[in-house]
A and B are shown apart, each in its own frame.
Chain A
Amino acid sequence: MGLMQRASFVFKAKASKALDKAEDPRETLDYSYQRQMEMLQQVRRGVADVATSKKRVELQATQLEQSIAKLEGQARDAMTAGREDLARTALERKKAAQLQLQSLDDQQQQLQAEQDKLILAEQRLTAKVEAFRTQKETIKAQYTAAEAQAKIGEAVSGISEEMGDVGMAMQRAQDKVSTMQARAGAVDELLDSGALQDLSAPGTDSIDRELAQISAKSSVDAEFEALKKEIGTGSEATAPEGTTGGAA
């Protein structure tokens, strides 16, 4: 494998890894859940902030109420002492404090309404985040199972391929054996016909074969003559051609 192809494999493997990572729904779900939890924390912090502000307003209102009562007392004392100017000033300050108290009451109501809304939102969000968390774990489990199944599938297909290779190898071996057998048969035929010399059987060249043939023919001729004598037919007509002259 050349450099270009290796680079191609590496490049594709790296890209595939990057894509796999980006596309892994488990990581996406976890990230999403984390974001939701952060949002929930923000809402909870908001509820706490509003509650703190409301408390502060309540304290200010209490102080103002005390101040109003005090100013009213001072106005009475001043009037009793014949100091109408001081009594008027005290009453003016009391009026200003009362107006401020009214404003604080409005603020307090607004903060209460905001706090109620945030508490409701926090409760709903908590329920949603909890539902998401459960769903997330289910999806993750499903994905993990699917991934495992895919891996098993890949492994099985890998095994199948290997088995295929084994089958192919056996087929090739069988083919080879058949070819060798066919060749062996052909060689035997050629040896029998004399077209090929059997080097494993020395001394059977063409001269040997010719001598053997002559020897066989002499033997047949001798046997024929012996049989002819024994039966005493002497029939020349039935004698095979070329057997009357004895051994050649």
Chain B
Amino acid sequence: MIVVRILDEGQFALADGLRGDLETRDARLLTALEEDSTDAYDAELEQLLGFVRTKGTELALDVITPSEFVLPNREWSMASVRDFLGDRPA
């Protein structure tokens, strides 16, 4: 089971079989960020969030489990995500 946390929203459990799909979408999102393409970033983030929400099962907030992935929510701009990641090299 893969647990993905969407910041300021909640946590979702996804089947292990979706890992490949998840990573592919994640890679596209990162590419958009690295290419500084706001439109692409918005579209990829929207798709990835939708993927996690629809394919995953939402876990209650009181379920304490380590997450493997963390996603910004839709309110996070590309600049704020870059700031957030700023102290870590790619």
Residues of A in contact (CB 8 Å), total 12
Interface string of B63-90 (1 = CB under 8 A from A): 0000111111000000001001101101
Contacts of B67 in A (CB 8 A): 8
Contact with A along B1-39 (1 / 0, CB 8 A): 000110100000000000000110011011001000000
Tell me the nearest residue of chain B to A5, going by C-beta: B69
Other-chain residue from B5, B30, B87 in contact with A3 (beta carbon distance below 8 A) = B30
Q: Are A10 and B88 in contact (CB under 8 A)?
A: yes
Nearest chain B residue, comparing its CB with the CB of A8? B70
Residues of B within 8 A of A143 (CB): none
**Whole-angstrom distance between the alpha carbons of A54 and B30 in the complex?**
75
Could you tell me if A7 and B29 are in contact, using CB atoms closer than 8 angstroms? no
In the complex, chain A residues 2-22 whose Cβ is within 8 Å of any chain B Cβ = 2-11, 13
Give bound CA distance, A170 to B43, whole Å. Answer: 47
- Report the interface size for chain B: residues with CB under 8 A from the other chain: 23
- Measured in the bound complex, the distance between the Cα atoms of B85 and A16 in whole Å is 16
Q: Quick check: is A1 within 8 A (CB to CB) of the other chain?
A: yes
Closest B residue to A7 by CB, please name it. B70
Question: Interface SS of chain A: helix, strand, loop or mixed?
Answer: helix
Q: Are A2 and B84 in contact (CB under 8 A)?
A: no
B85 touches A1 (CB 8 A): no
Other-chain residue from A1, A4, A10 in contact with B84 (beta carbon distance below 8 A) = A10
Given contacts A8-B68, A11-B70, whether A3 and B81 have CB atoms under 8 Å apart is yes
Contacts of A1 in B (CB 8 A): 90
Nearest-Cβ distance from residue A13 to partner chain B, whole angstroms = 8
Per the bound structure, the CA–CA distance linking A10 and B70 in Å amounts to: 9
In the complex, the chain A residue whose C-beta lies closest to that of B72 is A7
CA distance in complex: A1, B34 (Å): 13
**B49 CB, min distance to chain A CBs, angstroms:** 11
- Chain A window 31-55, contacts with chain B (Cβ cutoff 8 Å), 1 for yes, 0 for no: 0000000000000000000000000
Q: How far is the CA of A1 from the CA of B71 in the complex (A)?
A: 14
- Given A1-B90, A11-B70, are A6 and B85 neighbors across the interface (CB < 8 Å)? yes
Closest to A3 in B: B30
